[in-house]
Amino acid sequence: MYRKTQLDNGIRVVTEEVGSFHTVALGLHVGVGSRFESEAEAGYSHFLEHMLFKGTPTRSASRIAREIESVGGILNAYTAKEYTSYYCKVLYENFETAVDLLTDIFLNSTFDPEELEREREVIKEEVRMVDDTPDDLVVDLFYRDLFPGHPLGRPILGTFDTLDALTRDSLVAYRDRHYRPHNVVISAAGRVDHDRLVETIARVFDGVHGAATHPLDAPPPIDRKASLHHKPTEQVHICLGTQCFAYGDPRRIPLLVLNTELGGGMGSRLFQEVREKRGLAYTVGSHASGYLDAGLFEIFLGTAKKNVADAVNVCLDELEKLVRHPLTEQQLREAKSQLKGALLMSLESSDARMGRLARNELYLGRAQSIMDLIEQVDAVTQDDMDAVARQVFNPERMVLTMLGDGDGIRVPDSFAVRT
């Protein structure tokens, strides 16, 4: 059962009670991520996420880790483009421990200077790790190519320059500016008592007030282009895609169905054509992501540099087929069934439910149950699919990003490569 309460100070508490679960997942989510950083603040949201685990007046960093693990729980966090999440998953009898721990690190972290200096080096190692992981690095480069000069195009981790320039005072000021009650969603799913959680949150956050504003700067329009980023690798790692629909745009549902047919699994067109029939890649697929006022569609794969042009051409051919030749009734049925199966399987996890609650509240301001989403999937028609395919799979708006040893790479003639 879904319930929502907004406290007087603006904090939203959303829960989904599932009495048959033995676990409960609790998340504290803040509507700020790398998109809302200035260029000089790049990486602040992620750095702040790390620092909240480094101690409070009553808990050291090591105690924070031990306390949740000693009851068999999980404590973690992540930073996204437009929000940051801190979450616990515990057996339901340990729920009070999870609430106390999450609210303590959120409200009372000390930002110890020595811990900050250590964490600066840890995050630099994380940046180096991404730089040494081509299939991660190419995604950051693709975002930069797809959203040029826009905050959505900047890496979440920041850069060595912005990390070196960060100070304790600047990070605390950033926290104080953005970590305000009106910007906070607390979500819980599993065996949870909504009223008890609301009562606890209201007491803990009593006297905490304030709002944060995040003006949206629309991403610039894009045209067909390609870029080659040089790095000595065995494969050329490739992202091919375009901008598309925001998280709340109804056209995103037909796109998700289309994406399932195109690159959603072993039976998808890309997997069959690129890997099974031609042996051009080991991993190939596609996905669609939505943000507050923008989105992206992406095909990803890695291949030998002698095969780059062939692999990209096959991907472009598959996109053109979806534009020129509508799915048959059977193909549409099968794509819907596959997508609905994945959605229903996510119901078996309390942390997946908790995350969905938060994202829907942050992006839509309301709940959207899996069954509501399934009804929307069932309602998708071939006309919906055709319209979305023509709009998204426009070859004149495709961006091709490649990462690898540039010598001898041949790309489709239709792309002008920038190096």
Residues with active-site annotation:
49
CA nearest neighbour of 375 among 287, 250, 263:
250
Task: State both tokens at 338.
Answer: 């596959």
d(CA 402, CA 141): 9
Backbone phi, psi, residue 392, to 5°: -85, -40
Q: b vs e for 121-152, b when ≥16 Cβ sit within 10 Å of the residue's Cβ?
A: eebbeebeeeeeebbebbbbbbbbbbbeebbb
Pick the closest to residue 306 from 231, 225, 227, 235 (CA basis): 235
Question: Token pair of 30, please?
Answer: 């803040």
